[in-house]
A and B are shown apart, each in its own frame.
Chain A
Amino acid sequence: MSETAVAVEHHADHAHDHHGSEGFLSKYVFSTDHKMIAMQYLFTGMGMAVIGGFMAYVFRMQLAFPGISVPGFGQVSPGEYNALVTNHGSIMIFWVAMPVLIAAFGNYCIPLMIGADDMVFPRINRLSYQIFLLSAVILLLSLFVQGGGFGGAWTAYPPLSAVGDYNQTSLGASMWLVAVALEFVAFLLGGINFITTLMNSRAPGMKAYDIPLVCWMIVIASILFMLSVGPLIAGAVMLLFDQTIGTGFYDPARGGDPILWQHLFWFFGHPEVYVVLLPAIGITIDIIATFARKKVFGYKMMLYTTVATGVLSFFVWAHHQFLAGIDPRMANVFTVTTLLISIPIAELCFVIIATLYGGSIRLTTPMLWALAFMAEFLIGGVTGIFLGASGADIYFHDTYFVLAHFHYTFYPIAIIGTFAAFTYWFPKMFGKMMNDTLGKIHFWGTIIPFNVIFIPLFVLGMGGQHRRIYNYEHFPELAGEGMYQLRELATYALLVMLAFQLVFFYNCIASWMRGKKAGKNPWESNTLEWTTESPPPHGNWPEGLPNVYRGPYEYAHPDREQDYWPQNEPA
């Protein structure tokens, strides 16, 4: 590769840099600026979260008060119930957790934190968001087509998902699959951008171990996604052909194999958990280092542990299939690998606890969210041990115990992690401080109901409550008084939690309109995004990109008066 060629290409990639007056469309809709694309992802993701939350509200009402006419929705039919739970799961994972944690904060943070003026492929970045938006529109439209939305669970196991006569929603099922496939294309394009940007356009002086952990985590998550999504795309094409043109890849009567889909799906599906977990852990560790005013304990260990987690995550997928008829000897192997993966995750937790130890902790709103992430995710991790052991899983399989377990992992990731990141970077994004009191009210109003929703569900699961049931009245052993009290408790807690989100929306709008000016570095943090204006202008550092002299976590250095030491300040 000749040097001139690199220079020419770099110039071509930034041909979009047309400063000055921009129309509304080119600034807000067809922008190639990474910060604007991040905002587009963030607000689309939050809009989808509202829709997903509304779905949860409707089916929780049905579960606690069967047959009730749900305010704002009406009576829930069994088909609608299936469509609601399926699309709630799909939306929360593919249209909330991934766009917000990876695409929004990845797009916002990576160029700003590594000192670049934009992503290396800005137009691919724009295309990525447009495809994502299209996928979201197709998913939402699929809820209103003839037959209703797809109701075969977000895992879409054939033959239920493949045969229109079984699922009764042949059009909805195909649209759901197309939407998921388009969403993957969007993240493929985004991931290529993240990895290439991190490798090739770091600020001068920024070595591999000077990159903030959140950037590493988002990039490692993107690599995991790239490596795991291929088999699922292959499987999804086969499923789509089974649905639409009548092939028999998953039809045993015609030589196919329905279990094949489960393998292809979970080969992606389990790394996917870590794809969304890693950015959330990265966000947490960055926030904790900033507000504990302490260097991250074991930066390299954290990084290597993350890589180990990523590698291991490719060898655990069959723990989703202990009851699908796999060989018990194979189940043993997957039990061992599943329990093994809790070791690096526990290591990450210890790194965070060791970072907190002896720090001078500032309990700001983002710090509360980061600490809550650790505490709640720990419960999710510990209950996972029961499910990873194939013996215990035979009892727990497809009960509310599983459901509560993965909500204790995904809720901290997708909701708590997002609130942590949002409240932390809000001053940078909008140039205003958020109201701390309202932030704390919202925090406690979210965390306490969250636990009150899901701890009863653990109990219900241990009592044998099966997941995919629309109305428990037909199951005498599940329709007892005690069971219903727990269900109602969970539903009331959900209503309280949803109500407290209004505080958050109010706080966002009020702080954005008339909050205190944030200044460049309100949290006294070290990383590069805090060295530019808030919000950063087009090109991020108009007076020239920063140089980097040290690692990102040099807090409380004994030889300095200030307890922080920005990465770009010469020694």
Chain B
Amino acid sequence: MSESVAIPLQHRPEPVRPKPLLSNGVLGMMIFIFTEVMIFAGFISAHAVVRSQAAGQMWPPFGQPRLPVQETALNTAALLVSGLVLVVAWFAFRKERSRARIPLLLSILLGTFFVYFQGLEWVALLGEGLTIQSSSYGGFFYLIVGTHAIHAVAALIALIWAGVRLNQGRLTGSELATVSAFWYFVVLVWPVLYIKVYL
């Protein structure tokens, strides 16, 4: 390879370890959230396919109860506010850690409100005869909303863990950001599910 003789020796400045763009926790959580988004995309597209093939374009199918659109809209608002309050908590944490306590608590309470009233809604719908076996309509409703509920409960547990650590003064910024990222996912995926499933 005689023509490659002209390549000069590479000289680089003394290596330094660059500061990572995102902390390990946040990056890992974001990759996990991408996967979660694809799971919900799978559910939603399956739901759309089955809905478009419903007999006689009847959706909900004949004899199945309608979903409580208004009550859930209120719930949706509570969840969105909870996400906003968590943003407030993040900025408060950046200024002075202890000031994040109240917004974090408020966010957890609003999230719990959402989960609790969704649970009440399930009990009511079960009473009206909508079960997971009653039709593909009921099946998809409980499947999609139930998957979201599991995520919401998991995220709330993570937020409570963060709150406990905040109280002990041991919570790091990276931990709060990681836990918040998961809660933002739970908050932001819900309006999409609400529009696709309830409306």
Residue A147 at the B interface, CB < 8 A?
no
Name the residue on B nearest A548 (C-beta).
B15
Q: Which B residues touch A542, using CB under 8 A?
A: none
- Asked whether A235 and B46 contact (CB < 8 A) given A255-B55, A548-B15, A571-B10, the answer is yes
Q: How many chain A residues touch B (Cβ–Cβ < 8 Å)?
A: 60
A462 to B81, CA, bound (A): 63
Residue B91 at the A interface, CB < 8 A?
no
Residue A16 at the B interface, CB < 8 A?
no
Q: Verify B15–A249 contact, CB threshold 8 A.
A: no
Name the residue on B nearest A358 (C-beta).
B1
By secondary structure, the B interface counts as: helix
Binary B-proximity of A1-43 (CB < 8 A = 1, otherwise 0): 1110110111001000000000000000000000000000000
By secondary structure, the A interface counts as: helix
Residue A188 at the B interface, CB < 8 A?
yes
Q: Verify A231–B38 contact, CB threshold 8 A.
A: yes
Q: Which B residues touch A257, using CB under 8 A?
A: 49-50, 53
Q: Verify B23–A199 contact, CB threshold 8 A.
A: no
Q: Verify B19–A3 contact, CB threshold 8 A.
A: yes
CB contact list, A492-550 vs B, under 8 A:
547-550
A120 to B20, CA, bound (A): 12
Q: Which B residues touch A193, using CB under 8 A?
A: 28
Q: Verify A1–B55 contact, CB threshold 8 A.
A: no
- Asked whether A9 and B16 contact (CB < 8 A) given A255-B61, A257-B53, the answer is no
Q: Which A residues touch B175, using CB under 8 A?
A: 5, 9
Interface stretch, picked from A101-109, A222-230, A347-355, A465-473, is A222-230
Q: Verify B177–A1 contact, CB threshold 8 A.
A: yes
Q: Which B residues touch A264, using CB under 8 A?
A: 42, 46
A556 to B2, CA, bound (A): 12
Name the residue on B nearest A227 (C-beta).
B38
Q: Which B residues touch A548, using CB under 8 A?
A: 15
Residue B45 at the A interface, CB < 8 A?
yes
Interface stretch, picked from B98-106, B107-115, B128-136, is B128-136
A245 to B139, CA, bound (A): 11
Q: Verify A231–B42 contact, CB threshold 8 A.
A: yes
CB contact list, B8-48 vs A, under 8 A:
9-12, 14-17, 19-28, 31-32, 34-43, 45-46
* Minimum Cβ distance to chain A for residue B93 (Å): 10
* Minimum Cβ distance to chain B for residue A272 (Å): 14
Q: Which A residues touch B50, using CB under 8 A?
A: 249, 255-257, 260
Q: Counting chain B CB atoms within 10 Å of each CB, which of A191, A200, A227 scores highest?
A: A200
- Asked whether A192 and B173 contact (CB < 8 A) given A246-B133, A260-B49, the answer is no
Q: Verify A226–B42 contact, CB threshold 8 A.
A: no
Interface size class of B (residues with CB under 8 A): 35 or more
Residue B164 at the A interface, CB < 8 A?
no
Q: Verify B42–A254 contact, CB threshold 8 A.
A: no
CB contact list, B133-163 vs A, under 8 A:
133, 135-137, 139-140, 143, 147
* Minimum Cβ distance to chain B for residue A298 (Å): 15
A571 to B28, CA, bound (A): 35
Residue B5 at the A interface, CB < 8 A?
yes
A559 to B38, CA, bound (A): 51
Name the residue on A nearest B177 (C-beta).
A1
Residue B168 at the A interface, CB < 8 A?
no
A360 to B112, CA, bound (A): 67
* Minimum Cβ distance to chain B for residue A58 (Å): 35
Residue A68 at the B interface, CB < 8 A?
no
Q: Which B residues touch A260, using CB under 8 A?
A: 46, 49-50
- Asked whether A249 and B139 contact (CB < 8 A) given A5-B172, A205-B16, the answer is yes
Q: Verify B27–A237 contact, CB threshold 8 A.
A: no
* Minimum Cβ distance to chain B for residue A190 (Å): 11
Binary B-proximity of A265-307 (CB < 8 A = 1, otherwise 0): 0010000000000000000000000000000000000000000
A527 to B135, CA, bound (A): 58
Q: Which B residues touch A195, using CB under 8 A?
A: 27-28, 31
* Minimum Cβ distance to chain B for residue A499 (Å): 43
- Asked whether A235 and B42 contact (CB < 8 A) given A248-B136, A549-B12, the answer is yes
Q: Verify A571–B11 contact, CB threshold 8 A.
A: yes
Q: Verify A230–B41 contact, CB threshold 8 A.
A: yes
Q: Which A residues touch B177, using CB under 8 A?
A: 1
A230 to B10, CA, bound (A): 44
Q: Which A residues touch B167, using CB under 8 A?
A: none
Q: Which A residues touch B199, using CB under 8 A?
A: none
Q: Verify B23–A5 contact, CB threshold 8 A.
A: yes
Q: Verify A241–B132 contact, CB threshold 8 A.
A: yes
A2 to B95, CA, bound (A): 12
* Minimum Cβ distance to chain B for residue A118 (Å): 12
A191 to B38, CA, bound (A): 15
Residue B123 at the A interface, CB < 8 A?
no
A230 to B41, CA, bound (A): 8
- Asked whether A571 and B9 contact (CB < 8 A) given A231-B45, A255-B50, the answer is yes
Residue B54 at the A interface, CB < 8 A?
yes
- Asked whether A9 and B15 contact (CB < 8 A) given A227-B38, A241-B143, A571-B10, the answer is no
A264 to B21, CA, bound (A): 34
Q: Verify B46–A238 contact, CB threshold 8 A.
A: yes
A120 to B28, CA, bound (A): 10
Partner of A9, one of B14, B23, B31, B43: B23
Residue A342 at the B interface, CB < 8 A?
no
A549 to B12, CA, bound (A): 7
A239 to B15, CA, bound (A): 52
Q: Which B residues touch A204, using CB under 8 A?
A: 15-17
Residue B4 at the A interface, CB < 8 A?
yes
* Minimum Cβ distance to chain A for residue B94 (Å): 8
- Asked whether A9 and B136 contact (CB < 8 A) given A238-B143, A548-B15, the answer is no
Q: Verify B143–A9 contact, CB threshold 8 A.
A: no
A229 to B26, CA, bound (A): 21
Q: Verify B16–A237 contact, CB threshold 8 A.
A: no
A121 to B191, CA, bound (A): 32
Residue A486 at the B interface, CB < 8 A?
no
Residue A455 at the B interface, CB < 8 A?
no
Partner of A230, one of B1, B14, B35, B132: B35
Q: Which A residues touch B31, using CB under 8 A?
A: 191-192, 195-196, 226
A-B contact pairs, 11 of them (CB 8 A): A188-B35, A195-B28, A196-B24, A196-B28, A205-B15, A248-B135, A249-B46, A255-B53, A264-B46, A548-B15, A559-B7
Closest 10 CB pairs of A and B: A205-B15, A230-B38, A234-B42, A231-B42, A230-B39, A204-B15, A255-B136, A5-B173, A204-B17, A200-B20
List 10 extra interface pairs beyond A9-B172, A249-B46, CB under 8 A. A1-B26, A124-B28, A199-B21, A230-B40, A231-B39, A234-B40, A234-B43, A245-B133, A249-B136, A549-B15
